[in-house]
Structure 1
């Protein structure tokens, strides 16, 4: 996998079985690890305007923090994947509180499924998949968030996968980086499974990119889905969403407004300017 954002992979390291990869901003110390109830190996990518690596070991657990002057959530995810040591890596955000046995849950899921990517449940997260262990398809994957995902690192690197730096928090294009990542994984032939076990509680807070289901939301949604699905499937998905999710957006946007904004986004020039 090529270096992303100028950060190459780290050579000469001791690999480990499991590691949490957390993205955050402006942290001065390792306090966030304890606040998140992380008791296993963890790598934090801390976007803070400086560069460097800090590391400590506590009770036999590796706690690392990669300070980065780069911006954008996708760049943070990619840096974490490049510097990870875990054979199995759990993607994480800084607003989660993890289950005591999160490592055992994740490793058991990979053993039972043989998957390359496994999605789990989060407490207080509204989107749900059917409560059985099953292989996830492309359109079902649109319900997933990146912080539900655990990855078999070797499979991701061998497939050359990375989070698209034109998408996600820190860009002008809104969310969708995890959806494109998963669709790229499907195209690469990787196996994606859902495992109905809770790994963390997700705190409810303000989003850095979501400000309501307004015309701008539908425009960006159309533009982003067209970018990784193509116009045909993006149009079908937009029609499905606008028709079936009126209860979500009716206070912010009318039905025909949502349709027009989605079509405008789908048909727009796919100019995803860098950040």
Structure 2
């Protein structure tokens, strides 16, 4: 199986992100910047294998739009989503390939990324709707045909550039589950995060809670979103209590849930 990495980034001056991210396979880079052009070239990985790179420089904006553009031009058997603050391990192509060979009926595998601030399960497990809420896009590798054949895309009304609360990866995984795709978590580390400033999260602001209300309604529908909102408000209180009081947070969250689209 051919592994292809899909990187979303902004304002990159050249192709150095490929080396910086330790890409050891084919790669598509969507670079949102101030010009429109495309660049293709070949490079050798650490094993001396020829890899193909495609960089699309675009004036479009929005993380979900970037992800969708990468999906449209991708051609790998297995695609791996990667952020610009992620460094992949040398053996990620082999680790990902073996995982899909072992679980040949699986469409999407969520892997471990170290230094990401997330707590990962110790054992392999199936991912359902509750588990999907804990996933990040940079964990995900998927069979490209499973996504394209079901016409699954990232919701361009969510994600960095259009929303303060992210959630585009959760909506993507929810859509996959609704289409009957099988998703698992594999306790295999394929890379690590490097410290950088988030492009979308700028604190627990009123706008964050309002956008999160919109996002959870898209995921769950209004009734379940209301129930989840109550859980979220109390569960995350230690994280946001220095930024906004609980009353204001829940007010904005419910305003988002009941906002007209």
Q: Do the structures match in fold with TM over 0.5?
A: yes
**Alignment partner of 1:111 out of 101, 106, 125:** 101
The residue that corresponds to 1:54 in the other structure is 39
SS at structure 2 position matched to 1:139 = helix
- 1:129-186 Cα offsets, whole Å, 9 max, x none, are 4221111011111111111111100000011000011111111453111111111111
**Alignment partner of 2:202 out of 192, 211, 220:** 211
Contact 1:37 1:98 in 2 (8 A): yes
1:67 and 2:52 correspond:
no
User: How far apart, in 2, do the equivalents of 1:123 and 1:129 lie?
Assistant: 9
Deviates more, 1:182-191 or 1:232-241: 232-241
User: How far apart, in 1, do the equivalents of 2:201 and 2:246 lie?
Assistant: 19
- 1:191-247 Cα offsets, whole Å, 9 max, x none, are 111111111111222222212123322121111111231111111111111112221
Contact 2:63 2:159 in 1 (8 A): yes
Contact 1:127 1:144 in 2 (8 A): no
RMSD of the TM alignment (CA)?
1.5
SS at structure 2 position matched to 1:80 = helix
User: How far apart, in 1, do the equivalents of 2:207 and 2:120 lie?
Assistant: 27
- 1:108-143 Cα offsets, whole Å, 9 max, x none, are 221222311111111111222422111101111111
User: How far apart, in 1, do the equivalents of 2:121 and 2:163 lie?
Assistant: 33
Tell me, which stretches of 5 or more residues in structure 2 are unaligned? 45-49
1:35 and 2:26 correspond:
no
1:95 and 2:85 correspond:
yes
- 1:8-34 Cα offsets, whole Å, 9 max, x none, are xxxxxxxx7111111112223221111
**TM-score, length of structure 1 as denominator length:** 0.88
The residue that corresponds to 1:26 in the other structure is 11
Tell me, which stretches of 5 or more residues in structure 1 are unaligned? 1-15, 271-275
Cα offset for 1:92? 0.7
SS at structure 2 position matched to 1:143 = coil
User: How far apart, in 1, do the equivalents of 2:75 and 2:13 lie?
Assistant: 23
Contact 2:164 2:201 in 1 (8 A): no
Q: In the TM superposition, what are the counterparts of 1:162-173 in structure 2 within 5 Å?
A: 162-173=153-164
SS at structure 1 position matched to 2:17 = helix
Count of aligned pairs between the two proteins: 255
**TM-score, length of structure 2 as denominator length:** 0.93
User: How far apart, in 2, do the equivalents of 1:189 and 1:211 lie?
Assistant: 35
User: How far apart, in 1, do the equivalents of 2:231 and 2:28 lie?
Assistant: 39
The residue that corresponds to 1:199 in the other structure is 190
SS at structure 1 position matched to 2:260 = coil
